[in-house]
Chain A
Amino acid sequence: GQNIDQPTEMTATEGAIVQINCTYQTSGFNGLFWYQQHAGEAPTFLSYNVLDGLEEKGRFSSFLSRSKGYSYLLLKELQMKDSASYLCAGVDSNYQLIWGAGTKLIIKP
């Protein structure tokens, strides 16, 4: 079956760095998305990786290893507004999105 695994919850300190991991098992692979979702709000796009390596966008970076079925989202210089859930979603061979349950990130002062 197809599956996306990510930790349920993580806690980090304001100003620090946190890495949110995602492992995937999909039938074929056509890329991996990260979305951010603040409580009670819509998911919003953060990143899309289809090739191996690290892509950086300001304080956020996303990494993909296709051989290991693994991705991570790296958040630097954490701010209180980064408290949110982070959703990992893989694109399978049929171009369907397979969603993880999300990682709730709690930022403490």
Chain B
Amino acid sequence: NAGVTQTPKFRVLKTGQSMTLLCAQDMNHEYMYWYRQDPGMGLRLIHYSVGEGTTAKGEVPDGYNVSRLKKQNFLLGLESAAPSQTSVYFCASSPPGQGGLSGANVLTFGAGSRLTVL
């Protein structure tokens, strides 16, 4: 099993450009998440989805949009990239948990996408 696959692994953008990060999971998980990881900070939740066709805002949603058209895919879009969005982005998935989030369930993460915005 591939688990959670993210593409691309690396990308360099200029300020104002747009791009989409792709995430695919083959574990039939209901819930999917997008996190960003920055030096000296814990993982921060950007957006998440509890099922096909549904999305919700996390802790730091501004400047990002998401879509979950198929259960196995979760897309993260940057409409107009800013240097503050330079980060490593992780997609994760989990079975359904309490409170509409993963709760006590284990997250399975993708390998990450390193984005640099100049």
Interface, chain A (partner B; CB < 8 A): 4, 8, 30-31, 33, 35, 40-45, 48, 50, 87, 89, 91, 94-102
Interface, chain B (partner A; CB < 8 A): 4, 40-45, 90, 97-104, 106-112
Give chain A nearest CB distance to B105 CB in angstroms. Answer: 9
Given known A30-B98, A100-B42, contact A42–B106 (CB-CB < 8 A): no
Question: A101 contacts B112, CB within 8 Å?
Answer: no
What residues of B have a CB within 8 angstroms of the CB of A89 in the complex? 42-43
Question: A42 contacts B109, CB within 8 Å?
Answer: yes
Question: B111 contacts A94, CB within 8 Å?
Answer: no
What residues of A have a CB within 8 angstroms of the CB of B103 in the complex? 30, 91, 95
In the complex, the chain A residue whose C-beta lies closest to that of B98 is A95
Given known A94-B99, A95-B98, A96-B101, contact A48–B106 (CB-CB < 8 A): yes
Question: B106 contacts A99, CB within 8 Å?
Answer: no
Interface of B, helix, strand, loop or mixed by DSSP: loop
In the complex, the chain B residue whose C-beta lies closest to that of A97 is B102
Question: B90 contacts A31, CB within 8 Å?
Answer: no
In the complex, the chain A residue whose C-beta lies closest to that of B40 is A101
What residues of A have a CB within 8 angstroms of the CB of B106 in the complex? 33, 45, 48
Give chain B nearest CB distance to A30 CB in angstroms. Answer: 6
Whole-angstrom CA separation of A97 from B111 in the bound complex: 19
Whole-angstrom CA separation of A101 from B101 in the bound complex: 21
Instruction: Identify which of A35, A41, A43 gathers the most chain B CB atoms within 10 Å of its CB.
Output: A43
Whole-angstrom CA separation of A12 from B45 in the bound complex: 32
In the complex, the chain B residue whose C-beta lies closest to that of A99 is B42
Give chain B nearest CB distance to A10 CB in angstroms. Answer: 16
